[in-house]
Structure 1
Amino acid sequence: MGMNKVLKFEKIFNKTRNSKLIHEGIVYIEDSSGNFSWIKGHGGKDVDSPLLMASITKLFTTACILILQERGKLSLNNEISEFFNKNTLSKLHFYKSNEYSFDLCISDLLFQVSGLPDKFEEKKNSTKKKVINEDFSFSFDELLNWTKQLKPHFAPQTKGKAYYSDINFDILGEIIENVNGTTLAEAYQQLIFAPLQLEHTYLPQSEGDFVPNIYYKDKVLKRPKFINSCRASGGAVSTAREMMIFIKAFFGGKLFNKAIFNTLACYNKLQITMWPISYGGGYMRIALGGFMTPFVEKGELLGHSGSTGSFAFYYPQKDLFFVGDVNQFSNPALPIRLTMQLAMGAK
């Protein structure tokens, strides 16, 4: 991969950073072997600057679930009622006069096919709207109660339906704690950070833990309480360098047997606001091809983006990994668009 690719990557990143929304950013692209490696920072960000992973944290949660399944501690077929008392789950999923709360399985959460609503995005009093104006903390129980006040979108496992909702992964986080007998932060440390020797990746838990600021348009948001509360669905902090180590391990079989992807690679389109993203077993898929991109050969991006501008994707057709952050909360499509453009630049 020669100078031509590098020039294309430069051009694409320069165009992105010229957007008035982008105040700082980092892009890191590498192939499996590390023979090709390209890094570009903007606004003082480099490959070791702390960045908020936001929903890329879901890949950590997915990895823990898959590792625990491999160790025989749980199964994707387990009903979630095995891990909670009845009162906790009661009325969580009540759809068209039927209660589905006790039928939900771990796989329904992992594949985002539970039909559960999303307090982060939905309604006028969504947590996303609230967090733009103030910092606040919340507990898992509060999150469950908020979710119970919203209507589910469909019965679990309705054919062809998927709906992206943070609560699916917040529940998975509680299950990991229960099964592993530790806090979620300790589970991440034991199952992921220690084996991969990640020293600058962590789940903030107290006011003393550093949480990077987030940009919303031109406004700088300092939101440690909120990030401390996001946990399994979006609370982790990392660096581009360590996200690269993780995404390679996730898809490369270093954390769990990658044969499991045969089962996980069953994709459903998410709600229209998430277009062009489909969801598999704990990760996003973005198809490259068709009318949307002028691709001759079809390809796909596998991984995750975050609502704050973070991204970590694998492009198997070209054996490339893309990680980074554009730190902008006002437009969650930015990291998706950038990664797609970079993938096209790698042709």
Structure 2
Amino acid sequence: MTIKNFERIFDKSMTSAKAHECITYIESSNGNFSWNKGYGGKDLDTPIIMASVSKLFTTTCILALQDQAKLSLEDKITKYFDSDTLKGLHIYKGKDYSFKLTISDLLFQTSGLPDVFGEGKNNLNKRTVHEDISVSFDEYIAIAKQLKPHFGPNTKNRAYYSDLNFEMLGKIIEKVTNETLKDSYQKYIFEPLGLKNTYLPTSEKEFIPHSFYKDKKIFRNNLILSIPACGGGVSTAREMMVFLKGFFGGKLFDKTILEQNQLYKPLQITMGGIHYGCGHMQIKLNGIVTGFKDKGSIIGHVGMSGTFAFYYPEKDLYLVGDVAQYADPGMCVRLAMRLALGAN
């Protein structure tokens, strides 16, 4: 492992026409190795939109609540939602699974529920390119009911990435704690780890960073406020590193649950070979890019705005960063993979 490798990979990635701002931070568990580099004015303490990296925070709350026996992953979601909300949500091949879904189905992305952001002619992803939309939880549910589920819950070797799964988990957290999701983030994550610059914005008065769509600087404040549990967090590279070490290091919940749930299922083909496990992604480092050699996997999450947070167990390295680019969601994945391989 050499810093020169990381420098070379980073500098080459920044030659892309879509690269306007970037921060990358790599560190070992004990901190003996640490490297970071910024581009376009971004540094370790620049606020960044976490987007779907926020799912790791929601996962943390769910697993912490399970540790306290306040919920079980095997709980049916009928315990937390009324029948009007669930009725007609998941009907697959004429069979209604709406009242059979469990917390585990949501957390592992094995519910089969459709992706309200990526599906449909006028899907939310297409709309957010042109406008800063605001969508309520009830509207997410209504949109999902108009779309078709992809398989029955917990079908063998099937997973389907859907932000709705995590927005539902957010509502479950609020129901169990009788507090806001923001309060739970504070209680189960921010306070234990001493995070001062990581937050879940809940009003327009709170600062939400910009991102880019190709060459255009964009602000999606309404959208971020609409998706707290699946993508609404704001942090910095420095504090995402602290969180990521806490997540995989057992500081926030009993990490044996992650060790006991090493079965990752492949997501839909549009997710580019990414697998999903207990509230987090797995990206295998093999195939053409490695000369068909198995270099292990990185585990963690990416966000559509270009954020990434991964642990590379084979080298005991944590990698976090942000490329701030909505137009190419795979840009941050490629950078994270290349950096991980650069450690070999």
Instruction: Using the TM superposition, give the Cα deviation of residue 158 of structure 1 relative to its aligned residue in structure 2, in angstroms.
Output: 1.1
Answering whether residue 177 of structure 2 is matched by residue 183 of structure 1, we say: no
Q: Work out which of the residue numbers 39, 59, 64 in structure 1 matches 2:61.
A: 64
Instruction: Using the TM superposition, give the Cα deviation of residue 292 of structure 1 relative to its aligned residue in structure 2, in angstroms.
Output: 4.3
Corresponding residue number in structure 2 for 1:198: 195
Corresponding residue number in structure 2 for 1:280: 277
DSSP-derived class of the 1:119 partner = coil
Output aligned runs, 1:4-153, within 5 Å: 5-153=2-150
Q: Work out which of the residue numbers 242, 247, 257 in structure 1 matches 2:244.
A: 247
DSSP-derived class of the 2:227 partner = helix
Instruction: Using the TM superposition, give the Cα deviation of residue 297 of structure 1 relative to its aligned residue in structure 2, in angstroms.
Output: 4.6
Return the alpha-carbon distance in structure 1 between the equivalents of residues 256 and 177 of structure 2.
23
Return the alpha-carbon distance in structure 1 between the equivalents of residues 59 and 255 of structure 2.
13
| Corresponding letter in the other structure for 1:100 | Y
1:288–1:295 contact (8 Å) kept in structure 2: no
Return the alpha-carbon distance in structure 2 between the equivalents of residues 13 and 214 of structure 1.
19
Instruction: Using the TM superposition, give the Cα deviation of residue 181 of structure 1 relative to its aligned residue in structure 2, in angstroms.
Output: 1.1
Return the alpha-carbon distance in structure 1 between the equivalents of residues 287 and 132 of structure 2.
42
Return the alpha-carbon distance in structure 2 between the equivalents of residues 293 and 335 of structure 1.
18
4+ residue runs of structure 1 moved beyond 6 angstroms? none
Instruction: Using the TM superposition, give the Cα deviation of residue 180 of structure 1 relative to its aligned residue in structure 2, in angstroms.
Output: 1.1
Return the alpha-carbon distance in structure 2 between the equivalents of residues 293 and 155 of structure 1.
35
Return the alpha-carbon distance in structure 2 between the equivalents of residues 328 and 292 of structure 1.
23
Answering whether residue 268 of structure 2 is matched by residue 271 of structure 1, we say: yes
Instruction: Using the TM superposition, give the Cα deviation of residue 298 of structure 1 relative to its aligned residue in structure 2, in angstroms.
Output: 3.0
Corresponding residue number in structure 2 for 1:293: 290
Output aligned runs, 1:145-184, within 5 Å: 145-184=142-181
Structure 1, 121-130 or 303-312: larger mean CA deviation? 121-130
Task: Indicate how the Cα distance of structure 1 residues 177 and 284 shifts in structure 2: closer, same or farther if over 3 A, else same.
Answer: same
Report Cα offsets for 1:156-197 as digits up to 9, x if no partner.
111111100000000000000001110001110111001001
DSSP-derived class of the 2:37 partner = strand
Task: Indicate how the Cα distance of structure 1 residues 133 and 290 shifts in structure 2: closer, same or farther if over 3 A, else same.
Answer: closer
Instruction: Using the TM superposition, give the Cα deviation of residue 138 of structure 1 relative to its aligned residue in structure 2, in angstroms.
Output: 1.4
Task: Indicate how the Cα distance of structure 1 residues 17 and 291 shifts in structure 2: closer, same or farther if over 3 A, else same.
Answer: closer
Instruction: Using the TM superposition, give the Cα deviation of residue 293 of structure 1 relative to its aligned residue in structure 2, in angstroms.
Output: 2.1
Instruction: Using the TM superposition, give the Cα deviation of residue 295 of structure 1 relative to its aligned residue in structure 2, in angstroms.
Output: 6.2
DSSP-derived class of the 1:87 partner = helix
User: What is the CA RMSD across the aligned residues, in angstroms?
Assistant: 1.0
Instruction: Using the TM superposition, give the Cα deviation of residue 119 of structure 1 relative to its aligned residue in structure 2, in angstroms.
Output: 1.1
Return the alpha-carbon distance in structure 2 between the equivalents of residues 297 and 134 of structure 1.
42
Corresponding residue number in structure 1 for 2:317: 320
Instruction: Using the TM superposition, give the Cα deviation of residue 26 of structure 1 relative to its aligned residue in structure 2, in angstroms.
Output: 0.1
Instruction: Using the TM superposition, give the Cα deviation of residue 262 of structure 1 relative to its aligned residue in structure 2, in angstroms.
Output: 2.5
| Corresponding letter in the other structure for 1:333 | G
2:323–2:332 contact (8 Å) kept in structure 1: yes
Return the alpha-carbon distance in structure 2 between the equivalents of residues 176 and 264 of structure 1.
21
Corresponding residue number in structure 1 for 2:329: 332
Instruction: Using the TM superposition, give the Cα deviation of residue 123 of structure 1 relative to its aligned residue in structure 2, in angstroms.
Output: 1.9
Q: Work out which of the residue numbers 278, 300, 304 in structure 2 matches 1:303.
A: 300
DSSP-derived class of the 1:247 partner = helix
Instruction: Using the TM superposition, give the Cα deviation of residue 275 of structure 1 relative to its aligned residue in structure 2, in angstroms.
Output: 1.6
2:295–2:341 contact (8 Å) kept in structure 1: no
Report Cα offsets for 1:61-89 as digits up to 9, x if no partner.
10100000000000000000100111111
2:22–2:40 contact (8 Å) kept in structure 1: yes
Paired positions, count: 344
- After TM superposition, the score normalised by the length of structure 2 is 0.98
